[in-house]
Structure 1
Amino acid sequence: MSARRGRASRRAPVRDHLLRDLDHWQQAVDLRTQWLNHALCTDPADRRNAEDAVTGLYALLGRPRPAFVWVDSPAAAVPSVASQHTVSPHGAQPWESGLASLVSTLRHRIDARIGAVDPDDWPRPPALPDPVAALRSGTGLSPVLDQGVLGALRRGVRQSVANVIRSAIPERFGLAWYGQHEVDWVARHDVHQRIHGRPFDATDGAQWELWATLVRSCGWWWPREDVCVLAERPSAVHTEPAPDDVYGEIRLHAADGPAVVYPDGWGVYSWHGTRVPAWVIEDPTVEAISAESNVEVRRCAIERIGWAAFIERAGLTLVGRSVDPGNSANELRLYDLPYRHRGSTTRLLLAVNGSVERDGTRRQYGLHVPPWFDDPIDAAGWTYGLSGAQYAGLQRRT
């Protein structure tokens, strides 16, 4: 065999393996999309299947079928859940902690079977920013699947959607499960068993299916001793792709109303993934912005108006302007502000992002800087921990 033929024969298995991994990755993307659709579903809950799945979980803990109370939103669940919230004698945790142990041990058993890595051990930000490039460079399929399925759904659904909703609930009692928003780990195990051909054993598979049914059937739910409170799914959910969403991450966002609305009218407002009060979206004014103490809420409200409009309406005084050395196609502008930041007078440095957004534009943003800066370049350097002269020497910033 010639040297050329020998090299070709060695490359063929490598190429075939890569093509197989790329095909599996595309299958995983399709499955992730299916599960994401369940997570964002706005159809009325499938109450029969949801109740049967909960009953199955109660049975695994030796409990009879509970009574079911349905509510139209997580906020509406508070009175019903509060009335059922008890602590048993001797300081033991509420009964629902047994269910937490049940699902935790299930996930650990399945993770061990599929050889999955604990997501808490992942580096942050994700170490694999481009799944296809990672596979082409020799990264194994499993870590790509974990980043692209569990990681993407955890960041997009659990951390963005569920956490934003959770933060808006006025009170919480005991443990709750997120129903359709538990999609991350359920989808991960589904993808691994389908693509790697590692089916669950019968017992684990039956329990996994109960949790999967709840993802496909209902919103949040609160299991208690003899009663289970379940919430309907939202009637509307508005999202957008997250920045650099190579793994399909999404975040809550709506520019003209609530990002999430439930059948009883309760909802949550979100501006590019940040929960905000209704006024930020419905009626942002200079007066409300000036009175707002939360810097993130204030930033979102200004972005909702637009920086140029805010500067004009607020009558900000321009202190100085300069070509941005780190982004020479744009200017740095320094303004006096009409409100205090963290109790102190402050100035606003208006800059343009060095990176291009998904739509081809560059985002304008404002940074609070100490009031003693008169030179925009000195102020820009301060935000990077540099002197003005050091910042002026930058070739490019992001």
Structure 2
Amino acid sequence: MARLVELWHRAAPIRDEWLAVAHSTGPADRAGTEHLIAGIYHRLRRRAPVFRWVQSPRQALPLLTRMPTHRDLQSWVLARRPHGAPPVASDIATALARLRGALDDAAAHPDLTVAAKPPQKEDRHKPWPVLPPERALEAGVPLREVLRQSLHAPIAADLTWPVRSAIGAQGTLPVCWYGQQDATWIGLYDLLPKLGLARYRTSDAAELDGWAALARAAGWWWPGEDVCVLVERPALIGARRVGYRDGTTVTW
């Protein structure tokens, strides 16, 4: 138990750095963002898109026609795939799934899965409880899950998903990536090797570094075949409220 608590104490400052990235209200690094996204297209043997910047997700909506939704992307993993080439968003998602799978495979240190106490038989199929980190470790939540929750709850659950739900019904918005708020997963993979809990292949580490740089530079972005729509970072992030530079506000 002491070892797990010590690892959490070492992880917390790194986690905090990524929370700061996710909640940044400084302007996007537009040149850096465009360079990094063009690099993603290039790795997929795609021509760099035209970049269209807008001030808020709501301003982006009219520019997203014909971009694929999650359901559209799912059709490309079925046995009977649609005719033609997959959309670039599908290629990005596939490449990212491969990267995350490789990073997960490289994070096999026993400290990530050992529990301070084994779960009760009746609790083995229940979701892990969401508790403050040290209490979670005491309750038998594995360190990997504690680290994941420490980023997921304040970023994805309390920021990204509420904003996304406020601007479009579930399943209707095209697939996008979240720039600074992708820190919810980038931060986890970044801190594991710093704690000595993972060792990534050089190529995978370099690809992760690219995504980390994009998180530090960008806001939300939607990749299209010829045009990539990018949203400037928020001007304000508060409790259940995000304000954008065009004056629009999303509350929940």
TM-score of the aligned structures, taking structure 1 as reference length: 0.52
Q: Do 1:57 and 1:207's aligned partners in 2 also have CA atoms closer than 8 Å?
A: no
Structure 1: distance between partners of 2:125 and 2:53: 38
Change (3 A) 1:93 1:41: same
Conserved in 2, the CA contact under 8 Å of 1:94 and 1:174? no
1:206 corresponds in structure 2 to 206
Structure 1 residue aligned with 2:18: 35
Name the residue aligned to 2:250: 268
RMSD: 2.9
The Cα shift of 1:229 comes to: 0.9
In structure 2, what is the equivalent of residue 231 of structure 1? 231
Deviation by residue 1:96-140 (Cα, 9 ceiling, x = unmatched): 1111111111101100110267xxx9843527x353356578x69
Deviation (angstroms), 1:150:
1.7
1:30, 1:231 → 2: CA distance?
Answer: 28
Distance 2:173 2:127 in 1: 31
Structure with greater helix share of residues:
2
Residue 113 (structure 2) pairs with residue 102 (structure 1): no
Aligned amino acid, residue 202 of structure 2: A
Q: CA deviation at 1:148?
A: 3.1
In the TM superposition, 1:283-298 aligns within 5 A as none
Q: 1-side partners of 2:209 and 2:189: how far apart?
A: 11
Residue identity opposite 1:124 in structure 2: P
Q: 1:149–1:187: 8 Å Cα contact kept in structure 2?
A: no
- Shift of residue 41 of structure 1? 0.5
Show the 5 A alignment for 1:66-145: 66-82=49-65, 90=83, 94-115=87-108, 123-126=126-129, 129-132=131-134, 143-144=142-143
The 3 A distance-change label for structure 1 pair 202 and 265 is same
In the alignment of these two chains, the number of paired residues is 227
Aligned match for 2:160, one of 159, 162, 170 = 162
Q: 2 CA distance for matches of 1:154 and 1:52?
A: 27
Q: Give the drift of 1:47.
A: 1.1
Query: C-alpha distance in 2, partners of 1:57/1:228?
Result: 12
How far did residue 200 of structure 1 move? 1.8
Structure whose residues are more often strand by fraction = 1
Quick one: distance in 2 between partners of 1:196 and 1:174? 37
Matched residues in 2 for 1:215 and 1:149: separation? 19
The 1:261/1:107 distance shift into structure 2, 3 A limit, reads same
CA 1:82–1:122 in 2, change beyond 3 Å: closer, same or farther? farther
- Which of these two proteins has the greater Rg computed from alpha carbons? 1
Shift of 1:89: 6.6
Q: CA deviation at 1:147?
A: 2.9
* 2:78 match: none
Partner of 1:335: none
Q: What displacement does 1:94 show?
A: 3.0
Q: Which amino acid aligns with 1:159?
A: A
Distance 1:79 1:188, change over 3 A: same
Q: Deviations over 1:12-32 (max 9, x none)?
A: xxxxx83x5433211211111
> In 2, are the aligned partners of 1:97 and 1:175 still within 8 Å (CA)?
no
- TM-score normalised by L of structure 2: 0.79
Please give the per-residue CA displacement for 1:151-182, whole angstroms capped at 9, x wherever unaligned.
13222211221111111214754311111111
Partner of 1:288: none
Q: CA deviation at 1:80?
A: 1.7
Name the structure 2 match of 1:215. Answer: 215
1:58 is aligned, of 23, 28, 41, to: 41
Within a 5 Å distance, the mapping from 1:247-396 to structure 2 comes to 252=240, 259-269=241-251, 275=252
The question of whether the paired residues in 1 share the 8 Å contact of 2:136 and 2:146 is answered with no
Q: Which runs of 5 or more residues in structure 1 are unaligned? A: 1-16, 240-251, 253-258, 270-274, 276-398
Secondary structure in structure 2 of the residue aligned to 1:82 = coil
Q: What is the match of residue 6 of structure 2?
A: 23
Residues 91 and 63 from structure 1, CA distance in 2 versus in 1: closer, same or farther, beyond 3 angstroms? closer
Separation (CA, whole Å) in 2 of partners of 1:43 and 1:218: 10
Letter in 1 for 2:184: D
